[in-house]
Amino acid sequence: MNLNKFSKENVTIAFYVIYAALSYGAYLLFPGDAKTPNFGKLLMFLLIPISFIYAAAHVIRHFNSDKSYFKCLLIHTVAWFSIITFLTNLKK
């Protein structure tokens, strides 16, 4: 599969959509109990450092290349606000 035929913005959006779908699938397939966390919730909490690393790569590419990654950085920002809102409501 050649990722060059997809735009960098579409790849960024697809990353978050596919990761959310995998987390939801893990949430349904691997339920937790009182002593072990649900695997889907664990994946959602792991999304924070994974997405920071992915965004850091976009920041480095933005400043070290001729291409603009500004739209990708906006997508990361919107996704982070959505994740934080979701995890805050999940905690309640």
d(CA 33, CA 57): 36
Structure confidence at residue 3 (pLDDT): 59
CA dihedral for 23, 55, 83, 88, sign (positive or negative):
positive
- Output the pTM of the full model: 0.81
Range name among 7-11, 13-17, 29-33, 68-72 with the lowest pLDDT average? 29-33
Per-residue pLDDT band for 92 (boundaries 50, 70, 90) equals low
Residue 61 near residue 68, CB atoms below 8 Å: no
- The string of DSSP codes covering 18-50 is HHHHHHHHHHHHS---SSS--HHHHHHHHHHHH
Count each helix (H run) and each strand (E run) in the chain, helices first: 3, 0
Specify the pLDDT at position 71.
92
Interval 60-78 mean pLDDT: 92
